[in-house]
Amino acid sequence: MYGWCGQRLRVDLSKGTIIKEPLSYEYRRKWIGGRGMNSEVIYREVPPNLDPFDPDARVCFGVGPISGTAAPASGRVTVSCKSPLTGGFGDSNMGGHWGAELKYAGYDQIIVQGRAPKPVYIWIDDDNVEIRDARHLWGKFPREADAMIKQELGDEDIHIVVIGPAGENLVRFASTFNDVYRAAGRTGHGAVIGSKNLKAIAVRGSGTVKIARPKEFFDVCNRLRQKFKTDPMRKFLYEIGSLSLINVANHDGWLSVNNFKQGAHPEAWRMSGEEHSKTVLKHREGCFACPICCGRFTEIKEGKYAGEYGGGPEYEHSVPTGPRVGVFDPNAIWHNMILTNNYGMDGIETGGVIATAMEWYEKGLITSKDTGGLELTWGNQEVVEKLITMIAMREGFGDVLADGASRAADRLGLGDEGHKYTIATRGMTLPGDDPRGLGFAYGVGFAIGTRGGCDHLRCLASLELSGFMYPGLNTKILGDERPVKPTTTVGKGYCCFYEENQKAMVDCLNVCCFTTHWSYAVLTADQVDYFNAVTGMDITEEEFMEIGERIVNLERAYWARLLSGKREDTIPERFQKEPMPKSVDGQTNVGYVFPVEKILPGYYKYRDYDPDTGFPSERRLKMLGLEDVAKDLAPLRAKYNSESEKKKKKYYY
Amino acid sequence: MQNRKVLIYNQEKCTGCRSCMMGCSLFHDGECGKVLSRVAVVRNEALGESFVVGCDLCTDAPCASVCPTGACSYDPALGITKINQDRCIGCKECAMACPFGAINMSYKTGKAFKCDLCEGRSEGPVCADWCPSNAITYAQPTVAFKAKRREKLIERLKAVKAEEED
């Protein structure tokens, strides 16, 4: 078999059984791999009303047909589950080398279900799979657990997926890590894994990925790699990492400062990639087969935190625990990053909940009585630091915040006023980019994202973000150059539709979207080229994009089954009503608001969603081969628009 | 002779991405896998360190001297040792003798295989061509060493200057 391994692993931790299931040609053709196969499993096997921490819940690790090959950045892994944070569909993906190793061991996917009676880890050594005792690993940081497992198994070259203490303590936004620092951050599957008493999955593979047309595949890869050498985006990402965005964001006013109250700050340059590279950068890092290598390794040299080290930073990880909570001291930001990594939780959500709590505190919704004496003032690094640990260990006020911003608002009884400041959609807080300046298509992604609010990599509308670096690209793809301007409503509906389908495919192949549609070295046609060369299929670009559309629709249907649709397709009031204030000289987006309702109808039209429910239409579902999904949704359409349902305000599920 | 290009590994630049390994196995074997690569990346994730290991093109090569059948021998024209697959008996002596661990055993044939500088590829070895961080370069030694010397010198002088300014 070419590309795929053709089998998946199903591990039932309750029964202690390990089953290898073959994957048929039709199944692979329909769902490709990674996110596609994972979403299919979640949709079929995890009922929408099931508690995410129920032993019956599934957590899936998927890789694609391209994973582990020479195709640029082909080592990603998608982790999917029913999210304990949003209560809806959740997935996230991570780089590193684990995905490739899983392919070499001979599996396209791992499904974990059940709950082990005591902490365990899974050891996959090619065909031999065993469940091993992990009681001694419980409570350990990813770094420690990784080292202990490697020592125990006597091989330093294996790759390990691991959760940290936050996952064990069921923090609703705990993440999964592989290769110690590469995190699948969002939607909180780390807690689901923790609820199954699973600490880690170690993999060693000695196989190879077979290529149907090697000569052709080599030529495609070679062509793409030559293109990367001169790609303008790649240069920034390699030299200064994704923190190269800080100065851009600060100039254009889309940096999240003080929980999105501002879009820029005169001090923000201190944490820019340029400064980072000059001061604390120890090494540049690359995930598997990556031609960009945007990964960083940091070693703090001065001050209170001198001597601490760890992988990162990355823009989205560092902004929420930095400017978003008002912290601008770079060493403090690197420290917060190392801390969240050690505990194994999502830096975005951690910063998001703390920033939200700070705003509640500022507005007088909570007082130091609620917080156990903590003064939650903007930029109070001492408190931020304490809170990170308290959240991870679920101590005191941290226990409240560990349920995520939206749930915390309800636990504290803050009502609608509290939810106003959560800056979240569908229960997940947004990453550190403000749609008022960054881009309107990108902002629509927040409203319609199929994993909830965070959709910075889901509908990464790069045609407007980095389109200006590639003149003529918008015309080539969208047939119009005007959408290249981020803050226009022209053409954004289709832009969103296209980018969302495209990203779904990228996640199915499990390549990195930094290589595919951010730096535009690998266009859709190129992805089809390498997909065909590896698998020996001959699908067209249209068929390729249709698969992406199928996956987006299936995930959307999962939300529809939770009665989440058009009314929930919105973004926080702040972006719609509060004009962007001026914070630095030359800020380009002063006075902007984000007119989300002007773009959504256009998007719905391309998606063919029902105009009154926002559910995928029956016609489109059938066209995409999802007849059974159409049947599932049929009775729910009327229910969604019933009066009682209309009155409900849903912040999470 | 002096100007024949060689492979140079700049350890401090390796990002550990394994692009080189993928290019190598795909180019030579038409499959992708670490086990079929002639070049290897050793990663120490916890400390963020990566090292690239490949044939260092020894002139007096240990792999050739230990080979019992003469399968592994130095090719003066290419400037690298080659393994004649017909004569190789798969004894693994060369793999153990190589000071860098740059020789591997093929799971397909059971015989030893090693770098051949992608013989016949006009752009030179794939690993160097694809390396995103220039950790592997394919260059004339005299030029490369000269450049290195200058780079190190400038670094040192800059540091001295910075100290003086402080």
Band (B148; pLDDT cuts 50, 70, 90): confident
Give the residue from A575, A620, A568 showing the smallest Cα distance to A593. Answer: A575
In Å, what is the CA distance from A584 to each residue of A254, A262, A485, A594?
Answer: 12, 10, 22, 20
A277 neighbourhood in chain B, CB within 8 Å: none
Interface test with B, best of A144, A160, A222 (most B CBs within 10 A): A222
Average pLDDT over residues A615-635: 94
Give the residue from A57, A98, A296 showing the smallest Cα distance to A203. Answer: A98
A290 neighbourhood in chain B, CB within 8 Å: 15, 17, 19, 132
**Which chain A residue lies closest to B22 (C-alpha atoms)?**
A70
B13 neighbourhood in chain A, CB within 8 Å: 284
User: pLDDT for A47-74, tens place per residue?
Assistant: 999 999 999 999 999 999 999 999 999 9
Question: In angstroms, rounded to a whole number, what is the distance separating the alpha carbons of residues A219 and A526?
Answer: 11
**Which chain A residue lies closest to B42 (C-alpha atoms)?**
A157
Q: Among residues A397, A429, A461, which one ends one of the domains? A: A429
Band (A330; pLDDT cuts 50, 70, 90): very high
Average pLDDT over residues A428-454: 87
Q: Mark whether A485 and A583 lie in a shared domain.
A: yes
**Which chain A residue lies closest to B19 (C-alpha atoms)?**
A289
Q: How far is A44 from chain B (nearest CA, A)?
A: 33
**Which chain B residue lies closest to A2 (C-alpha atoms)?**
B31
What is the CATH classification number for the domain harbouring A383?
1.10.569.10
Q: Mark whether A574 and A623 lie in a shared domain.
A: yes
Average pLDDT over residues A466-478: 85
Identify the pLDDT of residue A501.
93
Inter-chain contact A206–B49, Cβ cutoff 8 Å?
no
User: pLDDT for A182-194, tens place per residue?
Assistant: 999 899 999 999 9
Q: How far is A221 from chain B (nearest CA, A)?
A: 9
Token reading at A430? 């947004």
Local structure of residue A450 (DSSP, 8 states): B
B158's CB contacts (< 8 A; 6+ apart) are none
Residue A568 amino acid letter: E
Q: Mark whether A411 and A469 lie in a shared domain.
A: no
C-beta separation of A482 from A490 below 8 A: yes
In Å, what is the CA distance from A337 to each residue of A176, A258, A374?
Answer: 15, 18, 21
C-beta separation of A41 from A111 below 8 A: yes
Mean pLDDT of chain A: 92
Token reading at A319? 């902004």
**Total domains, chain A:** 3
End-to-end Cα, chain A, rounded Å? 41
C-beta atoms surrounding B75 within 10 Å: 12
Question: In angstroms, rounded to a whole number, what is the distance separating the alpha carbons of residues A473 and A493?
Answer: 17
Inter-chain contact B48–A179, Cβ cutoff 8 Å?
no
Average pLDDT over residues A520-530: 90
Question: In angstroms, rounded to a whole number, what is the distance separating the alpha carbons of residues A344 and A138?
Answer: 13
Residue A216 lies in a domain: no
Residue A300 lies in a domain: yes
Q: Mark whether A286 and A184 lie in a shared domain.
A: no
Residue B139: enclosing H or E segment and its boundaries? strand B136-139
Which of B16, B30, B34 is facing A214, going by the closest CB pair? B30
Local structure of residue A75 (DSSP, 8 states): -
CATH code for B7-137? Answer: 3.30.70.20
Inter-chain contact B17–A289, Cβ cutoff 8 Å?
yes
Identify the pLDDT of residue A408.
95
Interface test with A, best of B32, B52, B129 (most A CBs within 10 A): B32
Question: In angstroms, rounded to a whole number, what is the distance separating the alpha carbons of residues A345 and A392?
Answer: 8
Identify the pLDDT of residue B157.
85
**Which chain A residue lies closest to B47 (C-alpha atoms)?**
A310
B29 neighbourhood in chain A, CB within 8 Å: 208
Q: How far is B138 from chain A (nearest CA, A)?
A: 16
Q: Which three-class secondary structure state does DSSP give residue A433?
A: strand
Q: Mark whether A360 and A455 lie in a shared domain.
A: no
Give the number of A-B residue pairs with CB atoms closer than 8 Å. 115
Inter-chain contact B18–A104, Cβ cutoff 8 Å?
no
Mean pLDDT of chain B: 91
User: pLDDT for B78-123, tens place per residue?
Assistant: 889 999 999 999 999 999 999 999 999 999 999 999 999 998 899 9
**Which chain A residue lies closest to B123 (C-alpha atoms)?**
A222
Inter-chain contact A146–B16, Cβ cutoff 8 Å?
no
End-to-end Cα, chain B, rounded Å? 47
Position of tokens 């160097």? Answer: B128
Question: In angstroms, rounded to a whole number, what is the distance separating the alpha carbons of residues A371 and A358?
Answer: 10
Inter-chain contact A221–B30, Cβ cutoff 8 Å?
no
- What phi, psi does B31 have (nearest 5°)? -135, 165
Q: Mark whether A50 and A189 lie in a shared domain.
A: yes
Q: Which long-range contacts (CB under 8 A, 24 or more apart) does B64-71 make?
A: B64/B94, B65/B97, B66/B93, B66/B94, B66/B97, B67/B93, B67/B94, B68/B93, B71/B112
Q: How far is CA A119 from the centre of its chain?
A: 26
Domain that holds residue A610: 440-520+539-647
Position of tokens 């609608």? Answer: A416
Average pLDDT over residues A385-408: 95
A210 neighbourhood in chain B, CB within 8 Å: 31
Inter-chain contact A285–B15, Cβ cutoff 8 Å?
yes
B27 neighbourhood in chain A, CB within 8 Å: 218
Which of B46, B48, B129 is facing A282, going by the closest CB pair? B48
* Interface confidence (ipTM) of the complex: 0.92
Identify the pLDDT of residue B1.
55
Q: Mark whether A383 and A466 lie in a shared domain.
A: no
Q: Among residues A157, A182, A204, which one ends one of the domains? A: A204
C-beta separation of A159 from A238 below 8 A: no
User: pLDDT for A590-601, tens place per residue?
Assistant: 889 999 889 999
**Which chain A residue lies closest to B45 (C-alpha atoms)?**
A179
User: pLDDT for A117-145, tens place per residue?
Assistant: 999 999 999 999 999 999 999 999 999 99
Q: Mark whether A496 and A627 lie in a shared domain.
A: yes
Question: In angstroms, rounded to a whole number, what is the distance separating the alpha carbons of residues B20 and B35?
Answer: 13
Question: In angstroms, rounded to a whole number, what is the distance separating the alpha carbons of residues A621 and A284?
Answer: 44
Rg for chain B (alpha carbons), in Å? 18
User: pLDDT for A498-519, tens place per residue?
Assistant: 999 999 999 999 999 888 878 7
Q: Mark whether A289 and A424 lie in a shared domain.
A: yes
Average pLDDT over residues A254-269: 92
C-beta separation of B8 from B40 below 8 A: no
Inter-chain contact B26–A228, Cβ cutoff 8 Å?
no
The alpha helices in A485-626, defined as continuous H runs, are 492-509, 513-516, 524-535, 541-561, 573-577, 596-607, 618-623
Identify the pLDDT of residue A279.
92
Residue A42 lies in a domain: yes
Q: How far is A311 from chain B (nearest CA, A)?
A: 7
Q: Mark whether A552 and A612 lie in a shared domain.
A: yes
Burial class (CB in 10 A: 0-12, 13-18, 19+), A487: buried
A69 neighbourhood in chain B, CB within 8 Å: 22, 26, 32
**Which chain A residue lies closest to B135 (C-alpha atoms)?**
A284
- What phi, psi does B52 have (nearest 5°)? -110, 135
Residue A215 lies in a domain: no
Query: Of A412-426, A452-466, B52-66, B68-82, which range is least confident?
Result: A452-466
Q: Mark whether A411 and A453 lie in a shared domain.
A: no
Position of tokens 């003149």? Answer: A471
Question: In angstroms, rounded to a whole number, what is the distance separating the alpha carbons of residues A22 and A328?
Answer: 52
User: pLDDT for A20-36, tens place per residue?
Assistant: 999 999 999 999 999 99
Question: In angstroms, rounded to a whole number, what is the distance separating the alpha carbons of residues B79 and B72?
Answer: 13
Backbone dihedral region of A68: left (phi > 0), alpha (psi from -120 to 50 degrees) or beta? left
Question: pLDDT at residue B152 above 90?
Answer: no
Q: Mark whether A328 and A420 lie in a shared domain.
A: yes
Residue A24 lies in a domain: yes
